[in-house]
Structure 1
């Protein structure tokens, strides 16, 4: 039982709340039974499960190291308002794209909730991977992780330089569809190809001009009411499903 927030192990784990330490230690924190079970069942490596003294749980891997802590220590480690009394320290994975039929490419997405929702939707829509362009919020941000509802563990998610990655994908036959209002066809006019990459951009500025120039097709969702625009995660979801259902 660890009872002090000054314990060296606790101090090191607490550092994982910051991106630079997550990257340095190649670990991140997840909270709650659901996310822990998703990580385990998806084959991610768990460094330790951390639980308060009276917390009971039944996870599929009983060989995992379990560290018991007091409620104050759990509150110190947790980033949620109402901790569930259990969290896990997870090791990051390095991914390569092995299947390139359906890819979601994100250009400078800033909101962690939007990023998490798009990862969750890409998983639900059967996309093969999510590529995070420069300037996109950290996928291991606590809010992003919670917004994915476990989909973080189901498909490859990797940071890339889109200006370098898109030409490489095009050379391998991936059709690049970029979401924009400028000189764009509506989503219903698109004829999906076997290999496609859907690019959506920053909440305020959209896709950068440099990436727009790399598009094979420019697409948008028509607005029938008086709303000026759609939330980027909603728009991405509509387009992903529209492309999959054709």
Structure 2
């Protein structure tokens, strides 16, 4: 059992709380029974399990190395107020470009809760892929991972320049929607094609103009009350379920 937070292994785990070291090691931490089980059942490369002595170890991890730690040690590497007693170190997954049919493109979204919610909703709505553009919050940020509730393990998620990605999607006969309020068509009046990509923009500035100009359709969600706009996660859900309903 590891009992000291000064243990070299613990120090290595703690480094994974920072993007710099996650990128160097190509590893990240997940916490809690649900996320650990999702990582394993989704066949990601789980490197090791970290658990307190009395934790209930899921049966499907019998072949994985388990490091037992004290509650104090787990608390030192955890980003949650009440750790569940189990965590895992997981290898990042580098997905390749594929011929997807339903795609979300993320343009500089900064809030981890928003990105996590979008990934979770994309999974629920039957989307295939998330393309993360430059200056978007780190996918492996602990708040993003928690907000996905395990959906991060179910989708093809890649990092790609969105200008290049949109051009490539159009060559793949994907109809590209850009969300904007200017000169846009209400989302429920746009034809649902067989292949669709939806570009969602930064919480403050929206979708970059260069991407809007590349899109096949400018799409908006009408505002009937006095709010200036919708939260990007909510808007994403409305658009994705519109596509799911007719595809």
Give yes or no for TM over 0.5: yes
Shift in Å, 1:98 = 2.3
Distance across 2 between alignment mates of 1:173 and 1:56:
48
Residue 32 of structure 1: how far off its partner (Å): 0.4
Q: Residues 137-187 of structure 1: CA distance to partner in whole angstroms, max 9, x if unpaired?
A: 001000000000000000111111101111111112111100000100001
Q: Partner of 1:149 in structure 2?
A: 149
Deviations 1:68-110 (A, max 9, x none): 0111111111010111111000011110132311000010000
What secondary structure sits across from 1:158 in the alignment?
Answer: strand
Q: Indicate if the aligned counterparts of 1:37 and 1:59 stay in contact, CA closer than 8 A.
A: no
Which runs of 5 or more residues in structure 2 are unaligned?
none
Where 1:219 maps in the other structure, the secondary structure is strand
Please report how far the alpha carbon of residue 232 of structure 1 lies from its aligned counterpart in structure 2 after TM superposition: 0.3
Structure 2 counterpart of 1:43 = 43
The answer on whether the counterparts of 1:103 and 1:198 sit within 8 Å (CA) in structure 2 is yes
* 1:95 maps onto 2:100 in alignment: no
SS state at 2:214 partner: coil
The answer for the alignment partner of 2:224 in structure 1 is 224
Alignment correspondent of 2:62: 62
1:73 aligns with 2:76: no
Pairwise CA RMSD: 0.9
Matches within 5 A, 1:99-114: 99-114=99-114
What's the counterpart of residue 197 of structure 1? 197
Q: Distance in 1 between matches of 2:169 and 2:187?
A: 21
Per the normalisation by structure 2, the TM-score is 0.98
Select between 152-161 and 53-62 the one with higher mean Cα deviation: 53-62
TM-superposition CA deviations, 1:104-131 (whole Å, max 9, x none): 0010000000000000000000001000
Q: Secondary structure at the match of 2:51?
A: strand
Q: Distance in 1 between matches of 2:92 and 2:46?
A: 9
In structure 1, runs of 5+ residues without a counterpart are none
The match for 2:31 is 31
- Please give the secondary structure, in 2, of the residue aligned with 1:24: helix
| d(CA) in 2 for partners of 1:156, 1:128 | 6
**Does the CA contact (< 8 Å) of 1:120 and 1:149 recur in 2?**
yes
**1:16-41 CA deviation, whole Å, 9 max, x = no partner?**
00001001000000000000111111
The alignment status of 1:174 with 2:174, answered yes or no, reads: yes
TM-score by length of 1: 0.98
CA distance in 2, matches of 1:105, 1:34: 27
Find the counterpart in structure 1 of residue 211 from structure 2: 211
Q: Show structure 1 runs of 4+ deviating over 4 A.
A: none
Q: How many residues align?
A: 246
